[in-house]
Amino acid sequence: MTEHDFIPPIYDANIDQGRITWESPSNIALVKYWGKKKDQIPENPSLSFTLNMCKTITTLSFIKKNDVDNAFSFDIYLDGALKEDFKPKIQTFFERIELYLPFLKLYHFKIETKNTFPHSSGIASSASGMSALALCLMSVEKQLLDADVIAGAVEESFDQEYFNQKASFLARLGSGSACRSIEGDLIVWGETKSIEGSTDLFGVKFPYPVHEDFKEYQDTILLVDKGEKQVSSTVGHNLMHNHPYAQNRFEQAHQNLESLKSILKTGDLEAFNALVESEALTLHAMMMTSMPYFILMKPNTLEIINRIWNFRQETGLNISFTLDAGANVHVLYPKRESQEILQFIKDELVGYCQNGHYICDQIGFGANQIQF
Ligand code: DP6
């Protein structure tokens, strides 16, 4: 497939107004996306667990403009409050996707969004937020095409597979990691030879057998620092240009995906723990060795990591961690070990979280349309 496959036929836009709601989850990468080319094309493949509890719920209302002009018209609300500061990001998103959604300038949109996790938690909301909006926009496109089919203006609408692919494709243009939030439970984004069907254009479901242990894997997110990110991910990705270790890092991501394929099949948790922790530390190593350089881990991040390592050594339990581009720690473990591990988290790790805050999540199955 190419980008051109996502340019729709010309439709009549025979619908005056409507309203649609989607909820879409966040995801946590095991193999990290860090570095991108033009048009949100990743420098390396990544793989993520789709989460179950951390979601964005977005309602998109649309009404046809009386006079069509050459501008996008939209308002965005978070928890009922108008958010002028969100507008530039949505404006950029609309500019990037206009070619693929030619109805965008015909309507005024009201975007009402809320998260099931606190906005100030330091959990990135761009993946769930952009994927929820992309899904809403795809539903508008589907309604327009369906109306045209009924009117006899076009022959056919599209199927669910195309809907998901295009939703992921659009979400990617909003935020790279968002393309991995449309479906569950394990998603690959970025072309790599060991994963059949993988593409730079959108996320695909991991197409190989997965051991039972990974079907309900647990992710307890320890909120070490709830402040705004010091470095936006876009700036961080750009620092991979001319980065002295970039090429080796990109190559390593391909190798790690290949290794994960057999780890996920056999359920080799020791190898899994080593691979995801190495990926997390490599991500942060890239940030520490870029120019300018930066450190996003906090003292409590390191304290938690050391305690996880000690506990694993002492008990032999399969606890490991991964990190986003921030100080928070995602503690990963199989469900069958959750009793002891959760007790350890409460006894020894929660004290290192800001205000003792943490979120218990587990692998989930992707986005849902909400009907009223
Ligand atoms: C560290 O998807 O937030 O979370 O494409 O610029 O919006 P943009 O970047 P974004 O980057 C996420 C990077 C990461 C790793 C990952 O999720 O793979």
Q: Residue 170: pLDDT above 70?
A: yes
Looking at ligand 1, which atom is closest to the CA of residue 31?
A: 18
Mutate to test the pocket of ligand 1, among 50, 233, 297 (most ligand atoms within 8 A of CB): 233
Predicted pLDDT at 167: 98
**Any residues with CB less than 8 A from the CB of 177 and at least 6 apart, and which?**
27, 29, 33, 46, 48, 124, 126, 127
For strand 81-82 and strand 41-42, is the pairing parallel, antiparallel, or unpaired?
unpaired
User: What number is the average pLDDT over the span 304-319?
Assistant: 98
Nearest to 233 by CA among 280, 281, 176, 180: 176
- Separation of 354 CA from ligand 1 center, angstroms? 23
Residue 44 Cβ contacting ligand 1 at under 6 Å: no
The rounded mean pLDDT for the chain is 95
Ligand 1 centroid–CA 36 distance in Å is 10
Q: Is the pLDDT of residue 347 over 90?
A: yes
Averaged pLDDT, 305-327: 97
Determine whether the shortest distance from the Cβ of 33 to ligand 1 is under 6 A: yes
- Give the largest Cα separation in the chain, rounded: 69
Any ligand 1 atom below 6 A from CB of 177: yes
**Ligand 1 pocket member 237 (CB < 6 A):** yes
Q: Identify the band that residue 232 occupies on the pLDDT scale cut at 50, 70 and 90.
A: confident
- DSSP state string for 94-147: HHHHTTT-TTGGGEEEEEEEEESS-GGGS---HHHHHHHHHHHHHHHHHHHHHH
The pLDDT confidence band at residue 122, using thresholds 50, 70 and 90, is: low
- Tell me the pLDDT tens digit for each residue of 32-61: 999 999 999 999 999 999 999 999 999 999
Ligand 1 site, residue 361, Cβ cutoff 6 A: no
Contact 126, 115 (CB under 8 A): no
Predicted confidence (pLDDT) per residue in 187-229, tens digit: 999 999 999 999 999 999 999 999 999 999 999 999 998 876 6
Cα–Cα distance measured from residue 185 to residue 256, given in angstroms and rounded to the nearest whole number: 19
Length of the chain: 372
Does ligand 1 have an atom closer than 6 angstroms to the CB of 324? yes
180 in contact with ligand 1, CB cutoff 6 A:
no
CA 278 to CA 319: how far, in whole Å? 14
Residues 68-80: tens digit of each pLDDT: 889 999 999 999 9
Q: Which two tokens stand for residue 355?
A: 């205000």
- How does pLDDT run across 123-143, given as a tens digit for each residue? 778 999 999 999 999 999 999
C-alpha torsion sign, points 365, 367, 369, 370: positive
Q: How far is the CA of 303 from the centre of ligand 1 (A)?
A: 25
Nearest atom (ligand 1) to Cα of 176: 5
Could you tell me what percent of the chain has a pLDDT over 90?
88
pTM listed for this prediction: 0.96
Nearest atom in ligand 1 to 28's CA: 17
CA dihedral over 33, 350, 311, 336, signed as positive or negative: negative
pLDDT at 228: 67
Q: Edge-to-edge strand order for the sheet containing 329-333?
A: 320-323, 329-333, 218-222, 358-362
**CA 131 – ligand 1 centroid, Å:** 13
pLDDT attached to residue 121? 67
pLDDT of residue 205: 98
Ligand 1 midpoint to CA 147 (Å):
36
Atom 7 of ligand 1 has which residue's CA nearest to it? 175
Q: Is the pLDDT of residue 372 over 80?
A: no
Residue 125 has what pLDDT?
Answer: 81
Local confidence band at 120 (pLDDT 50, 70, 90 cut-offs): low
Q: How far is the centre of ligand 1, averaged over its atoms, from the C-alpha of 216 (Å)?
A: 23
Average pLDDT over residues 230-245: 91
Would you say the CATH fold of 216-362 matches that of 3-188?
Answer: no
Beta carbon of 232 within 6 Å of any ligand 1 atom: no
Answer with the residue of higher pLDDT: 234 or 4.
Answer: 4
Domain 216-362 grouped into CATH 3.30.70.890: yes
DSSP state of 345: I
Q: How is residue 168 written in tokens?
A: 């992921």
Check if 234 has its Cβ closer than 6 Å to any atom of ligand 1: yes
Question: May I ask the CATH architecture of the domain 3-188?
Answer: 2-Layer Sandwich (3.30)
Structural domain boundaries of the chain?
3-188, 216-362
Residue with tokens 């996920």: 264
Report CA(190)–ligand 1 centroid distance (Å). Answer: 13
**Closest residue CA from atom 3 of ligand 1:** 233
